[in-house]
Chain A
């Protein structure tokens, strides 16, 4: 697909919007369908699209495999870390009410934080799996 100019330009134009949409899905997850899991998948899809069009090496220069693998672990740590923070603040594990004076606001922050953990993990996992599949054989983009 390297020579198809429509595909190349189209992918380039679409990518920022896909990433923006992923962030929208994440931060608007309180009010509309969506959340960390869907956002992570969409974010990973943006990089998969780039890899399909521009080739794996070009994308791995932007997003190296070690970074994606680190993300996969980091998300779980974020999620579990929120729980530890609430324990240190004197509430139950993952009792988000501890995170702000008003328990409702605390719930907001807590949900955002754990969904961020889900997003980071899902993004890292999807990109890692895609890299492994695509980078394994003779996949010519």
Chain B
């Protein structure tokens, strides 16, 4: 279903349908994350990807119109680049350890410590929150700052046009996703 939604996203030229499909795609990925037991990630994906992003895209659509023009160039060169990059990425995964293998290095660096000690050291049941806010507190502070910086960037790009209405810039900016 994810693949079908992705392919439809590529083919459809009506942007309204594309936005809705992107929301569905996000919701399906959230379901996939849930199946893989990553509920925190799934929650974020559902709230940000399927919720707020869709609304922002709709707001952008109201500015940009509902139809996507046909591209003026042939898709051969981009296709070539994408295929080569994809092949390189697939080649890169050959050396990766098997998915879910308990002997993987990632499970033996600090993860053991987090899983075994966090009930005593932090005292909260949700290990994800413990890692996010306590063990990796500096990282999360950086992320918060990044989100703030993203908002400042969008404000500089979009709010500047309100004052000088003459030269209406193109809408730009992506939502900041920590």
Contact = CB atoms under 8 A, between A and B. Distances in A.
Interface in A100-141: 103-105, 107-108, 110-111, 114-115, 117-118, 121-122, 124-126, 128-130, 132-140
A72 B148 contact: yes
Interface string B128-144: 11101110011011011
A114 B135 CA distance: 13
* B interface majority secondary structure: helix
Interface stretch (B81-89, B99-107, B149-157): B149-157
A45 B39 contact: no
Interface in A43-82: 44-45, 48, 52, 69, 72-73, 75-76, 79-80
Given A44-B52, A45-B47, A134-B59, A94 B141 contact: yes
Size class of the contact patch on chain B: 35 or more
The secondary structure that dominates the A interface is helix
Given A33-B39, A41-B48, A132 B159 contact: yes
B134 A121 contact: no
Interface residues of A, number: 55
Interface in A8-65: 25, 29-35, 37-38, 41-42, 44-45, 48, 52
B97 interface: no
Given A33-B43, A110-B134, A130 B162 contact: no
Closest 3 CB pairs of A and B: A104-B123, A125-B151, A133-B59
Interface of B: 39-40, 42-44, 47-48, 51-52, 55-56, 59-60, 62-63, 120-126, 128-130, 132-134, 137-138, 140-141, 143-145, 147-148, 150-151, 154-155, 158-159, 161-162, 171, 173, 175-176, 178
Given A34-B40, A115-B133, 15 more contacts: A33-B39, A42-B47, A93-B138, A94-B141, A104-B121, A104-B123, A110-B133, A111-B124, A118-B144, A122-B144, A125-B176, A128-B154, A133-B60, A134-B59, A136-B171
